[in-house]
Structure 1
Amino acid sequence: MSKEANAKKSGTILKDAAILFIITLIAGFALGFVHEITLPAIEAQQLQAKMEAYRTVFPGAAEFTEEDILKEKLLAAPELLTSKGYTNITIDEALSATDENNNKLGYVVVVTTQEGYGGAITLSLGYTLDGTVNGIELLSMNETAGLGAKASGKEFKSQFAEKKVTEFAYTKTGAKSDNEIDALSGATITTRAVVNAVNSGLCFIADLKNGN
């Protein structure tokens, strides 16, 4: 191949590379621009989903706020849970639930456990000042359809509602007391993960109440 042909070929390659670079650059800017535009809408949807979950576990509340004491307790939560034997579990959020007159009604706590059969399970827990568990709501999970995924069903979740207990336990032989939860058939790992997550939330709230 002649020098002129080699030079022409090299020029073509450089030209193609430059065009590809420009296209990639423009595409990157375009994606970034679209992301910036859609981000507020995505965040608004996520916030709405959270608020709906909070109201599900605390329907009587008008507002959910994060107090300074709750922020402090969140920082200390990992050490607290570890000391109580709860591992691979985190307290993600803690909020005070108040009525229209800003009277405190209780708390909403968001907990994530890594102990699910399919990985992380995140749930919210509502708790009134008189020590009653309002209920729980599953926010996210990847459990097996028809088995562990039933944890998000009303039948399973309702077992935690309106219970004045300090800790739950699961059973495979039929619940006989308020603190017992019927295990999901074929999904003991999921059941245990949810129960431990709820108990971690109750542990956090108990420590919060003792501190106040």
Structure 2
Amino acid sequence: MEEILDQKKIRIEKLEKLKGLGLNPYPYKFVRTHIIKEIREKEEEMVGANSVAIAGRIMAKRGHGKTVFADIKDESGKLQIYFRKDTLDKKLFEIVDLIDIGDFIGAQGEIFKTGTGELTLLVKGFEFLSKSVFPLPEKWHGLKDKEIRYRKRYLDLIMNKDVREMVVMRAKIIKKMREILDSKGFIEVETPTLQPLYGGAFAQPFKTYYNALDRD
């Protein structure tokens, strides 16, 4: 916990630096041209495109000096992005050091393939969309603590791909069921659900007599 608080302090200092530079760490709008899935599906067509704008959460960051690589993830997939000192404005490249894992950024640039064949965005401009002040769980071990997973569902969805895919699949199934029933003239009506025991984080079960049902 102490380590997390130390990291939070460092991130808040970076947040204040951004504000001191006159940058808004939480802007209202960013226009992207593609989601990452589209870039990967049209890989050969996209290589060489130099007006690509994407947005997402930074999941990994590596390198220092004149070059920095990072992995950015949106709702559709993940892509490597590449910051080069000789490509970015000097002041903008200095801000790369203020990027932390967990931050949301928007980036514009050119799609190319590295020597190993990795599809990559060469960043020619970027901006912060949301500065994260709390660190994400450690990458390699993920989020394993069940108590934290259940209490902090947002972290579970960020770190565990299987859980996220299950939630998306459930939403699609329910949507399809509604579409089928709607097409057949059914009307959805939400009614209260009566249960013999009430649940909750700190709820204590107790008995009471239900006159209408003649039961406890």
Q: TM-score range by the shorter chain?
A: under 0.3
TM-score scaled to structure 1, two decimals?
Answer: 0.24
TM-score scaled to structure 2, two decimals?
Answer: 0.23
Larger Rg: 1
Q: Which of the two has greater helix per residue?
A: 1
